[in-house]
């Protein structure tokens, strides 16, 4: 399954049980009003659609979420978070949200040129941040050249 919807409350790209996908030059922005209310509000997660569950540390939508998938190539991604509760003061400290992209530990993926804006962790594995944007900042965005699971 693959879904995409910019500014969606839960996620923008969600791959679950996917195989042999190439995603080129994907781009999205998370909702401007989050984290008040925090995701998944005003909706609820639905396990029938493989929706994510949210914790107290994950309060904003995922830009990219990959679960139980194999042979996924992401070639060029711009995942942006410009607001926190409709304010842009979070851009000054590059932390409009805590995590932007999440891959579960069982998935096999390759990511090339992942650029994020104002997400503390550019990439997480099983909701644990593994790439902090601080070391990859270059102007407007923070960019990871390549990563594979």
pLDDT of residue 132: 97
Interval 9-42: pLDDT, tens: 999 999 999 999 999 999 999 999 999 999 999 9
- Going along the chain from its start, the domains and CATH numbers come out as 2-148 (2.160.20.10)
pLDDT of residue 60: 97
pLDDT of residue 6: 80
Mean of pLDDT values over 97-120: 97
- Give the global pTM: 0.94
Interval 50-94: pLDDT, tens: 999 999 999 999 999 999 999 999 999 999 999 999 999 999 999
DSSP states of the chain? -EEE-TT-SSEEEEEES-EEEEEEEEEEE--SSTTSSPTTTTS---GGGTPPP--TT--S-EEEEEES-EEEEEEEEEEE---BTTB-GGGGGT-SEEEEEEE-TT--EEEEEEEEESEEEEEEETTEEEEEGGGGEETTEEEEEEEE-
pLDDT of residue 107: 97
Higher pLDDT, 11 or 6: 11
């Amino acid at each position: 399954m693959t879904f995409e919807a910019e500014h969606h409350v839960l996620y923008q790209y969600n791959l679950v049980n996917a195989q042999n996908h190439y995603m080129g030059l994907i781009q999205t922005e998370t909702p401007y009003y989050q984290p008040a209310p925090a995701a998944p509000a005003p909706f609820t997660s639905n396990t029938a659609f493989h929706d994510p569950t949210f914790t107290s540390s994950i309060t904003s939508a995922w830009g990219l979420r990959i679960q139980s998938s194999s042979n996924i190539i992401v070639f060029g991604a711009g995942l942006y978070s410009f607001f926190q509760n409709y304010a842009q003061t979070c851009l000054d400290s590059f932390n409009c949200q805590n995590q932007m992209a999440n891959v579960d530990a069982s998935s096999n993926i390759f990511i090339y040129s992942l650029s994020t804006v104002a997400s503390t962790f550019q990439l997480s594995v099983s909701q644990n941040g593994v790439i902090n944007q601080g070391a990859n900042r270059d102007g407007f965005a923070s960019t990871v050249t390549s990563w594979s699971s």
